[in-house]
Structure 1
Amino acid sequence: MTLEPRPGILDIRPYKPGAADAPGIANPVKLSSNENPLGCSPKAREAFEAAAKSLNLYPDGGAVKLRAAIAEMTGLEADRIVCGTGSDELLQLLGRSYLGPGDKVVQSQYGFLVYRLVAMQSGAELVSAPETDYRASVDAILEAAGDDAKIVFLANPNNPTGTYLPGDEIRRLHAGLPSTTLLVLDEAYAEYVDEADYETGVDLARNHDNVVVTRTFSKIHGLAALRLGWAYADRSIIDVLNRVRGPFNVNAPAIAAGTAAIRDTEFQRRSAEHNREQLAFLRQQLGGLGLDVTPSVGNFVLVHFPDTDGKRATDADAFLTSRGLILRPVAAYGIPHALRLTAGTAVQNRAVVNALAEFLKA
């Protein structure tokens, strides 16, 4: 007799991280995972090293100091914050808490792949709402959600497109959803955005009991290796998440590093400034090569390639990889003609541009 998992589990295709290796290349340039090219805050590194002296001790199960630091720096209430091993864990905890077999989950057409995993892990049905020019459509999401969606996931800004919805559209989306639908706003890239009409969803979450905002330390804070994130929501939701998370789900070095990182506003400022400069460079240079680049407010760009023999995205990916430049194919998102390029250092970005110029002329 073969032990069988719950129905639907074997239908799940495991999440595939961005590649890190290029065959035959000793030190490839990894621009496939939207990591911070400046590294992390020196203060966070020092805090991590200090915490490593006490690895024999259990961490604080409530991440009290980290939540207090987040509250201090964001103006939020510490008792309405829960921390997790990356925002990915928090998204999965929401699925475990609020989804069951047959429930409806809605995302935008090119939503983050983890939303599909969350739905499938719970046996829920995932519905993707069509986007317009790689931008989420509130009307399409509301139509897909109807009056019976349990969760609506929306990344704002979105990965892998880099597009966003302004604050008035987010409010219109929430207003159009029934009170029984949970709106989850995934703001992993929010700290990079400086558009005047962009708004974080924390005010919605503060004033309504069916909104959750998630953030991560993996992007602007440069702590991807530590797997650290947090969520802000009504106390009733935080209470539920605290009941289903592991008792020590965040490790002590991550708590220490995250506490230092959230307070290092100078490192965050430098990271955001570097990103603005490099996004502008990539848009200008890649556009000059004749490539279409979706406008992005994240720390990456989506680069589209022609449907021409020898010049497709798969060809470009192979060419770049052979030169030790690793980008992220996004066929799994339904965009087979594009590659996602993390905005790296100035030297790395120039290397990609030069290589693509050679590729397109070949």
Structure 2
Amino acid sequence: MSSRPTPQPGILDIAAYVPGKSGAPGSNAIKLSSNESPLGASPKAIEAFASVAQHLEIYPEGTSRILRLALGEVHGIDPDLIVCGNGSDDLLHLLAQCYLGEGDEAVMSRYGFSVYPIVTKAAGAGIVMVDEADYTADVDALLAAVTDKTRLVFLANPNNPTGTYLSDAEVRRLHAGLRPDILLVIDSAYAEYVTAADYSAGLELVAEAENVVMVRTFSKMGLAAARIGWMVGPAHLVDVINRIRGPFNVNLAAQLAGAAAARDVAFTAELKRHNARWRDWLTAELSSNRLRILPSQANFVLVLFASEAEAETAFEALMARGLIVRQVGSSYGIANGLRISIGTEAAMRRVVEVLKP
């Protein structure tokens, strides 16, 4: 008998999620490591958040109705098919807990979001990691990895940390090749930043199918501190998730701020314009024989160096100039890469000053 409480088998095999580095308190460092909004939050969202200060003693409405109604209004979705969570990570955990168990498998791309393996192991299921085609999810390889044990497929679209994406046609081809009892989770965390004409966030496919769910977040739109995620799925899936999600899992300030941010489509559009301009500029400025910049549809770029040593040297050079970027070796296995969030014009010009060949 153990002398202390023992966690369930497999829990201690999970490597904890490591967030991007932050600057020291009081420092003037520019954080480009966590894909946050370079324009801050919507002023309307800030005002809504602040309005809650006089009502901290009151429980929020338990189903995030205020937020679900706003999302339904803006995106043309039945609010009853929306579930909100304490960040999209909360919802990914819930999906894994509900649809994975001992003996099951979840299929995911090699460089997919690092939370997918965590939630899969936490549910007691096995991870099937599928190699990508030049840092892009490979539909044929994903389908070839499906077995009788497969219960769930994770797809980040666009993907973090690569910024690459699959077209709507490719996502539909992936879905068409899955058994109806396999849940396809489309993680569209960066959908607001996509400019590709052949992209779809997944709403249409969710409406057509019984085994697809789309997960989104407000974190990249200026509300990372508020921790707001949301998902859309068929009624039977929403019913399952609502049975186990925590009561009052989205606080009132987050609900009100999220609702205001969702409705502030002008701010979201400005954020998209700024990102597209400086993402494309940064890509063009840095691309060379020495540096490869993966084509990104997100609010960051992944810079690939000739070697791990060169990536480390570049990371230290950027840090010396007060620019904090994300190393992706330990988390994603891309030791020669640095992920750089799109920031202000000044920040982007400083990055180029340091890295341009």
TM-score, with length taken from structure 2: 0.97
1:320 to 318, 321, 329: 318
Deviations along 1:119-144, whole A, 9 cap, x unmatched?
11011111111111111000000011
* Equivalence for 1:15: 17
Residues 39 and 92 of structure 1: is their aligned pair in 2 closer, same or farther, counting only changes over 3 Å?
same
- C-alpha distance in 2 between matches for 1:188 and 1:146: 27
* Equivalence for 1:352: 351
AA in 2 matched with 1:345? T
AA in 1 matched with 2:11? I
AA in 2 matched with 1:241? I
- C-alpha distance in 2 between matches for 1:303 and 1:3: 44
Deviations along 1:146-196, whole A, 9 cap, x unmatched?
343111000000000000000111111001000110000000001111211
Asked if 1:218 is matched to 2:219, the reply is yes
Do the aligned residues in 2 keep the contact of 1:22 with 1:321 (CA within 8 Å)? no
Deviations along 1:229-257, whole A, 9 cap, x unmatched?
10000011001110110011000000000
The count of corresponding residues between Structure 1 and Structure 2 is 354
* Equivalence for 1:55: 56
* Equivalence for 1:136: 137
AA in 1 matched with 2:177? G
Gap regions ≥5 residues in structure 2: none
SS at match of 2:347: helix
> Within 5 A, what are the aligned runs for 1:82-231?
82-219=83-220, 221-231=221-231
**RMSD of aligned residue pairs (Cα, Å):** 1.4
- C-alpha distance in 2 between matches for 1:179 and 1:240: 17
* Equivalence for 2:77: 76
* Equivalence for 1:295: 295
- C-alpha distance in 1 between matches for 2:289 and 2:20: 25
- Deviates further, 252-261 or 119-128: 119-128
AA in 2 matched with 1:229? G
TM-score, with length taken from structure 1: 0.95
Do the aligned residues in 2 keep the contact of 1:31 with 1:343 (CA within 8 Å)? yes
Quote the sequence identity (%): 51
- Deviates further, 253-262 or 193-202: 193-202
AA in 1 matched with 2:171? I
Deviation at 1:322, TM superposition (A): 2.0
Deviations along 1:255-313, whole A, 9 cap, x unmatched?
000010000000001000000100111011111584110000000000011128xx511
- C-alpha distance in 1 between matches for 2:120 and 2:178: 19
* Equivalence for 2:45: 44
* Equivalence for 2:5: 3
Do the aligned residues in 1 keep the contact of 2:195 with 2:276 (CA within 8 Å)? no
Do the aligned residues in 2 keep the contact of 1:148 with 1:181 (CA within 8 Å)? no
Deviation at 1:22, TM superposition (A): 5.9
Do the aligned residues in 1 keep the contact of 2:103 with 2:149 (CA within 8 Å)? no
Gap regions ≥5 residues in structure 1: none
Do the aligned residues in 1 keep the contact of 2:108 with 2:130 (CA within 8 Å)? yes
- C-alpha distance in 1 between matches for 2:342 and 2:27: 21
AA in 1 matched with 2:111? Y
AA in 2 matched with 1:318? E
Deviation at 1:317, TM superposition (A): 1.1
Deviant stretches of 4+, over 2 Å: none
> Within 5 A, what are the aligned runs for 1:264-303?
264-288=264-288, 290-303=290-303
AA in 2 matched with 1:286? L
Deviation at 1:111, TM superposition (A): 0.4
Do the aligned residues in 1 keep the contact of 2:111 with 2:162 (CA within 8 Å)? yes
AA in 2 matched with 1:319? A
